[in-house]
Structures are given as structure tokens and as C-alpha cells.
Structure 1
Amino acid sequence: MTPSLIAGCAWVLAACLIAPLPIRKQILPGTVLGLGGIALLFWIGAENGWIWTVVGLFAFGSLFRNGFKAVPALLRGEKLDIPDV
């Protein structure tokens, strides 16, 4: 297994550890993971080819699907309802 795929597995595990946190505590680590995930996808693609990049893209999209819904709402100027819990 290449170093980029090992890093990808570690990224997925980190995302799974952050997921059960309350929403307010997910924002900073989720942002770091999201930006790191994009760089990681490029690394995976360069080292392993486009098929593994697509697999990583599906994992990335699955873990950040709610974040992807929030970005257009923020761009439209809508206020997000983030619970205090």
C-alpha cells in the first residue's frame, strides 16, 4: 500500500472520530480535514491514478455531504442554524 493510501485511511479514521462531536466542535477540525482531504486527493491521484482518486472522492463526498449543502446557503447569505448542544 502506498503512503498516500495509508494517509487516506488515516484521514477517514480522523473524520470518523470527529463526526460524533457536537456541531460547534466539528467546525474547526472539519475545515482542516476538508482542506487536507483536497490535497490528499491530489496526492492519491499522482501516486495511484485516477481510479483511486475517484474512490477517495466518493469517501470525501460522503463524509462532507452536509458541509457541501451548507456552503451554497452561506453564499446566498442565509444564516445557518447551528444547535448549541
Structure 2
Amino acid sequence: MSPSLLIASLWVLAASIVALLPMRRQYIPGVTLLILAPAVIGFIGYQHGWLVALGGVLALGSMFRRPLRYGIARLRGQNPEVPK
């Protein structure tokens, strides 16, 4: 098993476990995964090429679309509603 496949598998497993948590408990582990994602995608891209890395970026954007929208709204100075 290649190291990049192992790292990506662990990241996906951790993201799946975080997704099972109630929304109010997802923030800290979710932000941690979001911060680690570029490093994981960069390593995968280094090992397998830019097309695979592009697929990883698209998958990341799809998986974290709501937190990314929230973060962009906060950066714009808006006060978006947080789900309970």
C-alpha cells in the first residue's frame, strides 16, 4: 500500500467519523481536518500527479461546502446563522 493511499484513507475515515457527530461537536475536529486537507492533497498530488490532486480539491470542496461558505461569509463581515 502506498503511503499516500494510507494517509488519504485515514483522513477519509476521520472525516466520516466527524460527520457522525452532532453538529455542535463537529467544529474543532472539522476545522482540524480542513487545515490538514491541503497537506494531504499536496502529498497525493506529489505522488500521483496534478489530475489526482485536482480531484482531491474538488472532493474537498464538495465535502466542506457549508463550512467553507460560513468561513467566506465571516471573512466578508457577515454574521451567518449557525445550525443547532
TM-score category, normalised to shorter length: 0.7 to 0.9
CA distance in 2, matches of 1:54, 1:18: 24
**Cα RMSD over matched residues?**
1.5
Residue 26 (structure 1) aligns with: 26
- Which aligned segments of 4 or more residues in structure 1 are displaced greater than 4 angstroms? none
CA distance in 1, matches of 2:59, 2:8: 10
> TM-score, normalising length from structure 1?
0.85
Q: Which structure would you say has the larger RCO, counting Cα contacts within 8 Å and 6 or more residues apart?
A: 1
Q: Deviations over 1:35-66 (max 9, x none)?
A: 11111111111111112112211221121011
The answer as to whether partners of 1:23 and 1:82 remain within 8 angstroms in 2 is no
- Deviation for aligned residue 1:81: 2.2
Residue 10 (structure 2) aligns with: 10
CA distance in 1, matches of 2:83, 2:42: 34
User: Which runs of 5 or more structure 1 residues have no equivalent in the other structure?
Assistant: none
- Deviation for aligned residue 1:20: 2.4
| 74-83 vs 37-46, which moves further | 74-83
Equivalent runs, 1:1-85 vs 2, <5 Å? 1-84=1-84
**How many residues matched?**
84
User: Which runs of 5 or more structure 2 residues have no equivalent in the other structure?
Assistant: none
CA distance in 1, matches of 2:2, 2:58: 19
Identity %: 39
- Deviation for aligned residue 1:80: 3.0
Structure 1 residue identity aligned to 2:6: I
| 47-56 vs 37-46, which moves further | 47-56
